[in-house]
Structure formats: structure tokens, C-alpha cells
Amino acid sequence: MPHCFNQARLQLPEAISGLSELAYNLWFSWNEEACELFARIDRERWQASGFNPVKLLKETDEESLLALTKDSAYMRLYRNVMRRWDDCRRAGTWFDDTYPEHGGRIIAYFSAEFGLHESLPIYSGGLGVLAGDHCKSASDLGVPLVGVGLLYKKGYFRQKLDADGNQLAEPMRLEPEELPISLVPAPPTGGGRKDTDKEADQAAEKAADEKSGASPAPLLVEVPVADRIVQVQVWLVRVGRIPVYLLDADVDGNSPWDRELTAQLYGGGPDVRIAQELLLGIGGVKVLRALGISPAVFHMNEGHAAFLALERIREHLDEGLPFPAALEAVRAGTAFTTHTPVPAGHDAFPLPMLEYYLGWLLSRYPDHRDDLLRLGLEEDRQLFNMTYLALSTAALRNGVSRLHGHVSRNMFRAFHGPLEARDVPIGHITNGVHLSTWLAPELKSLLDRCLPGSWPLQQAEPHIWRGLELIPPETLWHAHRQLKQRLIGRVRANLAERQRRMGGSQEAVSEALTCLSPDVLTIGFARRFATYKRARLIVSDLERLDRLVNHPERPVQLIFAGKAHPADAPGQEMIRDIDRVSRMERFRGKVVLLENYDISLARQLVQGVDVWLNNPRRPHEASGTSGMKAAVNGVLHFSVLDGWWEEGYDGSNGWAIRDGGEADWETQDRASAESIFRTLEEEIAPLYYDGAELPLKWIERMKRSIATLAPVYNTHRMVRDYVSEVYIPSLRRAERLMADGGKEAAAVADFKRFMLEHWREVRIVEVNDGGSTPDGAPSAELKEVTATLKLGPIWHKDVALELIYYEERPDGWHPVIVAMTPARQLHHHTVQYSARIPRHLRHGAHFSLRARPVSDNFAHPFELPLVTAF
């Protein structure tokens, strides 16, 4: 993989110089021994740094570092970690073994946020953490992936709560030189031309810089934004084998307004948002080109990155490809993942704003101005929709759970013309979590002892997890109790710090330091505070909550955490409501609300609570990865059957919350709240307290949770699915379409244009269904059905004629699609087709027919949304 960067280095004693390399590679974050290597330098400072090894090492004096080299135990650990790091880099990988012929091809993964580690707080929630986990599993599996995002020097925000539960969004300022990132230097002047004089000058200049200690000039890439050029510099984050490049507009020479463009994640108004998305999409492609990286596939993680398609179309236009062929070439090598099941969550900009910010592109290609605008046009609202742009320019698209795929097909049905929702070309790849990041060290240790040694790389194989049964119940329970104790310590510290900051009395601080009990059933609810997540459901009936929390034999305690967007007033009101309940006398110390939810706190919550509560308004939860993180730690999931839980729940590995079906929202909320209280009272609490010392049935369900969910809901499985279902098919199709100067791309474009012009001439003119079923004939008998199709100038091999009927199965009615075969040509443009179906089916009453275009070059059967039904 071609790069152009220098490894940042820290001045360390030679014997432990490898710490510098580890500090600048987030591989350390999912390797417990590597974390311990830094923690042993100074545990208090390690924690105070936000578990940031670069900051820690820069703040550690030379004498202390030298002392480490004389500590035999430390040096033994150091050598073990460095040996593992070397083995990791040199070992063969799953991708090498599975796709050796594609080892040199690169996938570019664009995301507006990357939640890689708490030391790099440039994420807001699930989307970013998913992107981070995606990169980590890609590294573990050896997938040749490159990440592209933005560096937000003001991060998201640091959350504090005042005495009344008001969220205070405290700004943060990240200092890049203290982060585990490296500034990418400019390539040598001359851009690779064979010029020995210039090469000699460059070598002399480099030697002089090294002698003087001068830093090389950073790589600067120019990105057109409206009527001006914005320069971005580039930072590199190493994630194991994977490089992630972060664009930064805080560059001398940019205007003050432009320097702030990448300052804050999801900050500012629509002008900042569209400018950020231009920098990410268009700037990201330009950065990869400047680095000499030519991806075979571009993956857009949400529509924020969709402008990358316009930059790639521009490249093809400048190479001489006609617009339709350029579009086909881009579509073939682009994938799109949507995470948002609510229409309001998709970015859309007024057309005048879009025309202003993209005026430089539209004026450069006046003949294609309308073509470019149509790619994202939401005609009824006269908006340019970033998700529409992504759908128009990506051949393969997916939601992030089975249910979310269904929701997305319905949500974007109108975009795809006359297609039935089931045929809309949006599939699904269910999310997962990076087990090495989210599994508790205590649990990892147990798994290392009972599972095969290869289990981390084979985690997506269900049979690997059979050894869970070998873990004695008391051993698993002891490990869980340790994690619960650790979480309670973190909760107490969080609440005590809030009291101290607000000037609380010593009594209030002491009360915070004694809240919660490790012996009480503990429920966790932590996520972004958005209204559809319904955080207030469990506090909606205070009398019933009182009976739960203060039950004399089976008490329950609750831990809440999460941020609301600074502009989300209803979300902030939910925080105030929960804080108000937590301060009531009957709930104090038993219902708690934590501040400043981040990856570090999330990790301890999903490992240490007993039950993970999730009650979104179905079907508004696209996936819900926090529940996966809890479930693989043996924390039992209690959720509405939404997102991933709709497919993961089997009746024995957690609990389901009933949601009230299709009723109005108020009725749904009442039904869900009743289900929560009843299930806690009648099932969850009795099971937890069943057993004086050891709740064996609860522990059995913990094992069931891990055994059924960990093999499926991990990012190793997820990334493998992306590789086999998206990356490799896209790569192969893109290479085929771009062979011979894009000849095949032009042919696909011409084929589509021809079909669009002539499809109206395709008509099903006659169906003969063979008559009714004779009395006493077995219903399983088959009969022949014929249909006559007029094709106009279209060749019959470019058309599929299909017969569709429904059959009842245990889970409902399902369509059965029967391909009809050409039987004989009646006239020059008329062909008769035939098929055999169950004898009792009659046309119109039981089955229908449809004709659609087909091509070996289509990425999806309904890539061209043309259907004639009869």
C-alpha cells in the first residue's frame, strides 16, 4: 500500500524505544498487555491522560523512563508485547489466504467520525464507534482498507451536568502533538519526475532538515469550496495495519472561518455542514490521490461522504469519458451504508445553497449541470439530498440490520420508481462489535482457557464457542462480580466529582461514594439521548419504579448515561427528567445519572451491569451496537425487538420488550412501559435472585447470551460479509467496466439508455394459466402456464419474465418467484414463455407476472428500476 508519511517518534531510551511505535498505533488499545505496558509507567498519570500513551510518555521524565529499563519485570513484559506486535505485522491474514489475487487492491472507507479510542475523542456515538470497530477488524483480518475522515480539534463536547440536571456542553481543545497521530509530510518536490538535479537538491534539503531538526513541510491539498480554495493538511492515525487519514482545515493561509470548518463534529449550521462534507468527500479523494493511493472500491459510511462520487465523476470526465459512462464507472466501485431509519436524519440542502457551494463544478461542466444536480435532487422539496446522491452513485447499498434493510427499502421506494419495496436494491449487513476492544479482560482470560487458541481470529465460527460450557458457573460469576465492583467504583467517582465541582457538602460527596450495591440487580441504560430512544419509559411510573427499586427481597438499581446534541432541546429535557428522579429521596443512590459518557465509560458499563436496557420506538433503531457489546460480556439484553435484537433474540438469551405494534405513539409507550415493569417484576428479578450464593439459572442465560450472540454480532463477521458481499464484487465489476479505457462502462450506460427509451414497448399481452383444478386433483400437481410478451426492439435475452405467487410458511406469507423460459418466438418482436406451477393457482387471483431488464453487468437484479406487471 503506497504511503507518503513519516512515523512520529518520541525520544526514549534505546532499550524501550519500541514504546514510541506502540504509542502511535492504536493497536495498543485492543491489546491488554500493551495497555498494561503504559499503565505501569504511572497508573495515575495514565488514567489522567485519558489513556493516551503519547501524552503519558511526553510527560514522563527521563529518569523515570531509564528506571523502567532496569526493571526486569517491566522489560519482560515489554519484550513479550513487542514480540506480539512483530508477529501481528508479519503473520499471514485471513484476507491474504482467502483473496490472494486481490492483495494489492485497496478499499477506501469514508466516515464523518471515527470512534477509535478515548484518547482521540473525535466521535459522537454509535456511527463513529462502528467505524472504529470496522477498521480494527479490517486490521486483524488483513483487509487492505484505508480510512478517511476529519480531524475535529474541538472534538464533540465534554458533558457536565449542573445541580438541576441541565447539560452543559463544555468545549474541548485537542492538541495534535499530544495525540496518537502523525502529520503527513508533503511528497518530494517534482512529483516523481526523473530529474537527477532535483533529486539531489531534495536529498540535500532532507539531510539539512535532519541535521537542523526541522520538521518537513506538511502535505497540503486544495479543496474548492464555493468561490474559494480551502487548504487542508492531513493527519495519520495508525490502527494496527490500517491507516486512517484525517483532514484538517486549521491551516495558515485559510480564512478564520475556513480554519474552523473542521473544528467541531456536527457543530455549526448548514453552511458548516455542507462545507465539512465537501472537505470529507471531495477533499478525501484528493488526499488519497496526493498520497499515491488508488482505491479499487470506495465505501461511504453514511451519506456525509457522498460528495466523493462527484469528485470521481469529475476525474472520469477529465479523462474523456462521457457522463453516463463516468457515472457507471463510479457506481461500480462505490458502496454505501445507510444507518438512519428516519427521513429527517438524512442531510439535505436547499438547491441554491448546493449551487453556491458546487458552483465551481457546475460551471466547469455546463452540459452536465442538470445531470449532476439530478443525482441528489429531492424534487418535491427542491432539496439536494446527500442520501439520494449516495444511492445514485453506489451500485451496492446496505442497511445495518435485517429490519433496517426492510425499513430502508420502504423509505426509499419512491426514489426507485415502480419497484415493489422488497425489490428495492438495498440489502443489509448487520453490524457487529470488535470483541478485542469490548470484551472485559477478565472474560478474555476465561475464554483463552476454555476456547481454542485461534478463537480471536475464528470468533465468527459458532463451533469455536462450544467450550463456554467448560467454564464453571462460580468462575464466570466471580469474574462478573469483579467487573460490577469496578463499574460501581467508576460510578461513585463520577458522581463524587460532580458534587465537588458544584460545591456540594462533604455529606453529599460521601453519599456519592457509597451509592449502589454490588449485590443488587443493576440495569444499565447508556446511549445518545434522542427522543426515539425513550429514556424516560422506566421512570414514567414512579410508584411502580419505587416498588422495583425498593423491593425488600429483589431490589433493582439503575445507571443512566448519555449525551444529547447541544441543539436537541427535547433530548436535554429527558436528561433533566432522569436527573430529577435520581435526586428524589426514595431513589437517591439507587437511580443514578452519570456525566460525560465516552468510550471509556461505555466499556465499563457494558461489562459491569447485569442487564442492558434498550427501548427505542420501533423501527427507529437501525442496529444498536451498545447492546451487542453488553451481550458478548454476558450482560443480558432487555430490548424492544428492533435493530439487531429482532434477529438476535431467541427467547433464551435475553428478554424482549413488547412495543404495542402499529398503535399511536402514546399507546406504544404505555405498552412498552408496562412490558418493562412486568418483565422485570415477574421474570428478570426473580431469576437474578434465584439462588442464595450462586444464581445458576442466571449464569446459564449469561453463557447462552455469549454463545449465541458473540459468534454473530462481531465485526470480524461483519467485515468478512462486507468483503465477500460488497468489496470483492465491487472491485471485480469496477475493473471489468473500466477495462480498455472504460469501454464496458460506456456499453452499460448505452444499454440502460436504450432500455429507458424503449421499455414502454414491452407488454405482456396474454396469459394462459391452464384452467381450474379438476375435482379431486392433488394440489401438489403442477401445470404449465404460458405468457406472451411483446418486446418491441428489445432482445428477448435482455428481459426476464417472472411469475410470482405466495405460499404460507410458519412465519407468514412469502413470495415465490418462478422464472419463465422462452418457449417459442411467435413473431419478430413477440415471444411466448412458459413455466410450471402448482395446479390450483389462477392468474389474477393467485399469481401475477412481471417483466424486467436483465444484464450480466448489473450489480443487482433491479439495478434498472423498470418493471412491467400483469
**Alpha carbons 118 and 317: distance in angstroms, whole number:** 42
* Whole-number pLDDT of residue 773: 55
**Alpha carbons 176 and 547: distance in angstroms, whole number:** 51
The strand pairing partners of 182, in sequence order, are 236
Q: Burial of 634 by CB count in 10 Å (0-12 exposed, 13-18 middle, 19+ buried)?
A: buried
Q: Burial of 651 by CB count in 10 Å (0-12 exposed, 13-18 middle, 19+ buried)?
A: exposed
Count CA within 13 A, CB hemisphere, residue 652.
Answer: 9
Q: Which element (helix H / strand E) includes 74? A: helix 72-90
**Alpha carbons 792 and 789: distance in angstroms, whole number:** 9
CB atoms within 10 A of CB 857: 17
CB atoms within 10 A of CB 852: 21
* Whole-number pLDDT of residue 213: 52
* Whole-number pLDDT of residue 198: 38
Find out whether 629 and 129 touch, Cβ atoms under 8 Å. no
* Whole-number pLDDT of residue 392: 98
Q: Are strands 427-428 and 396-399 parallel, antiparallel or unpaired?
A: parallel
* Whole-number pLDDT of residue 774: 55
* Whole-number pLDDT of residue 187: 83
Parts of the chain with a pLDDT under 50:
1-6, 190-212
**Alpha carbons 532 and 530: distance in angstroms, whole number:** 6
**Alpha carbons 568 and 159: distance in angstroms, whole number:** 14
CB atoms within 10 A of CB 847: 20
Q: Burial of 680 by CB count in 10 Å (0-12 exposed, 13-18 middle, 19+ buried)?
A: buried
- Please give the single-letter amino acid code of residue 84: R
Q: In what order do the strands lie in the sheet with 830-838?
A: 763-768, 782-790, 830-838, 812-827, 799-809, 847-853, 868-869
* Whole-number pLDDT of residue 778: 54
DSSP H stretches of helix in 294-440: 307-318, 323-332, 351-357, 359-364, 369-374, 386-393, 402-411, 435-438
Distances (CA, A) of 698 to 436, 634, 635, 638: 25, 10, 10, 14
Query: What are the pLDDT digits (tens) for 325-341?
Result: 999 999 999 999 999 98
- Please give the single-letter amino acid code of residue 697: K
pTM, 2 dp: 0.94
